[in-house]
Amino acid sequence: MSSSELEAKKAADGQQEAKVPAGVEITGSKQPEEDTNARTKAELDFAAAEQYKNQGNEMLKTKEFSKAIDMYTKAIELHPNSAIYYANRSLAHLRQESFGFALQDGVSAVKADPAYLKGYYRRAAAHMSLGKFKQALCDFEFVAKCRPNDKDAKLKFTECNKIVKMRAFERAIAVDKPEKTLSEMYSDMENITIEDDYKGPQLEDGKVTLKFMMELMEHYKAQKRLHRKFAYKILCEIDTYMRAQSSLVDITVQDEEKFTICGDIHGQFYDLMNIFEINGLPSEKNPYLFNGDFVDRGSFSVECIFTLFGFKLLYPNHFFLARGNHESINMNQMYGFTGEVTAKYTSAMADIFTQVFNWLPLCHCINQKILVMHGGLFSTEDVTLDNIRRIERNCQPPEEGLMCELLWSDPQQWMGLGQSKRGVGIQFGPDVTEKFCKDNNLDYIIRSHEVKDMGYEVAHNGKCITVFSAPNYCDTMGNMGAFITITGNNLKPNFKSFEAVPHPDVKPMAYANSLMNWLA
C-alpha cells in the first residue's frame, strides 16, 4: 500500500467512525429515550457492519472472492454511506473480473466520500480493465494532484498517460490500405537465415508435420523458442486458412467418434500439455475444439498459441479454434500477450497476431445440435444461426451487438436479461437459453469465459454448460480445469476435471503492462 493510500485509508476510517453517531438525525421534537435508542441502533449497526467488513477482508486474503463480496454487501446494507465498504467490494469484483460491478462500486465509493482516494483508484482500475484509459487517467490525475509528493500516485498517472498518448498516436498514423494476406505482406520471410546453432524443430518443405509438432512441444517444455522463420510461416498459413472460414463453423462428429471441447487456456502451456497427456494428442481419430482465450495472463501464451496453430494446420478438419474476448488488441496489450510476443520475438509479430485473431471463427455448431461460443447469448430475440454466419468478424470486438455478446456475455440464474457484471455484453437467463435453443433446434449450448471451481458448470436446466480449462487460474484461484467429451451418436456431455501441474518459475502477468500488474 502506498503512503497516499495508507493515509487516505486512515483518514477515511476516522471519517466513517465519526459519521456513525452523526448519521442519526436529531431534532428538538424527539424525546431523550427515542434519541438514545436511535443512537444505540446506529452504533450497533455500525459495529455489525465492521464485523462483516473484517470477515470480508479475511476472505479476500484467502481468495474467497464471492464470500468476500457477500460480507461487504451485508456491511453496506447496514451502513450504506461507507466509502471503504464499496472500495473493498470493488476490489473483490476486480479479482473476479466483474469489471462492470467493480466500476459501480468505485463510483459509489467516490460518491460516499470524495476525500477517500482509494475510491478513485478502484474506479480507475475498473476503467483500465475495460480499456477506458482516458477515464482512468482522470482519476489517476486527481489522486496525483491531491498527493503531489506521492511517488506511487505520480507513477500510476504517468504510466496511464503513456497509454493514452500511445493510443492517440496509433490512431493518428493509421491509414486505410488495401487488405493483404500475411503471405503477401511478408513474402521476403523465405530469405530469413536459420543460424547454425539453432537445433530446434523445423518445418518440412514449409509444412507442419506430426514430427514437427512432437519436437515443438518438447522444445517448448525445455523453455526454448521456435525459430522466427517458422513462427512467421505458421502465422501466414493460419491467416490464409482462417480467412476462408465462416464466422460459424459447422462440425460433423461421426457416430462412434469421440470429440473433445476445451475452454480457456490463458497461456498455461504446461496445463495444456497435461490435457493432451490425460486425453490423448490431437489426431484425426481424436479431434478437439478449443473455445477461445488461448493467451494473456499466463506467461507461456506464445507456446500455447503456436502449439494450437500448429495442430490446426496439421489437422484442419479435426482441430478447431474459436475466438475469445482475449483475442483482441486491447486485452493483449494490457494482460501480457503483446508484451510476451515482443519479448520473445518482435513488436511486428505482435501486430501480425492482431490480424490473425481478427479472422478466427466466432463459434461452432456440432452435429447441428450443440452451439459452442466463448461468451454467450444475445440481447435481441430471434437470433438465428444464419445471423451468426453473416457476422463480419474481421475487426476488433465492438462494444455491442452479436459479435460482442458472443465473446463477452454470461449466464445468470434468474429469468430474462440482466446488466453485465463485466461492463460489456449482457447476462441471460434460463428462459433466454430455452428459447434460443428451441428456435434454432439445438439441444444445448457450451460456452467458456468464467472460472468454475470444478472447471465446469451445468446451468439453465442442462441447456447452458460452461467449461474452463485453466486450472489454478493465474496461480491464485485454486480451481480445477476441465474438458468435455461427447460422441457423435451420444451428445450427452461427459466431464473430466483435472488439477494444475507445476510450471517454470515465471509468474502470470510477467509480460503485462505495469499498471495491470499493479491491478493484479
Terminal CA-to-CA distance of the chain, rounded, Å?
13
Write the DSSP string, 235-283.
Answer: HHHHHHHHHTS-SEEEE---TT-EEEEE-B-TT-HHHHHHHHHHH---B
Q: How far apart are CA 248 and CA 365, in angstroms?
A: 7
What contacts 195, CB < 8 A, 6 or more positions away? none
**Nearest of 325, 273, 277 to residue 300 by alpha carbon:** 273
CB atoms closer than 10 angstroms to residue 11 = 14
**Nearest of 362, 304, 308 to residue 337 by alpha carbon:** 304
Q: Which three cell numbers stand for residue 74?
A: 451485508
Does residue 326 have an active-site annotation? yes
Write the DSSP string, 46-112.
Answer: HHHHHHHHHHHHHHHHTT-HHHHHHHHHHHHHH-TT-HHHHHHHHHHHHHTT-HHHHHHHHHHHHHH
Active-site residue, from 219, 227, 326, 460: 326
**Nearest of 379, 389, 370, 377 to residue 446 by alpha carbon:** 370
Q: Is 464 helix (H, G, I), strand (E, B) or coil?
A: strand
**Contact (CB, 8 A) for 297 and 336:** yes
Determine how β-strand 444-447 pairs with β-strand 417-419. Answer: unpaired
Q: How far apart are CA 224 and CA 230, in angstroms?
A: 14
Q: Which residue has the cell 501464451?
A: 301
∠ CA 19-22-27, rounded to 5°: 160
Q: Is 234 helix (H, G, I), strand (E, B) or coil?
A: helix
Q: How far apart are CA 423 and CA 505, in angstroms?
A: 33
Q: Is 8 helix (H, G, I), strand (E, B) or coil?
A: helix
Buried b (16+ CB within 10 A) or exposed e, 416-434: ebbebbbbbbbbbbbebbe
Phi, psi of 86, deg, nearest 5: -65, -40
Determine how β-strand 288-290 pairs with β-strand 248-251. Answer: unpaired
Q: Is 315 helix (H, G, I), strand (E, B) or coil?
A: coil
- Residues annotated as catalytic are 326
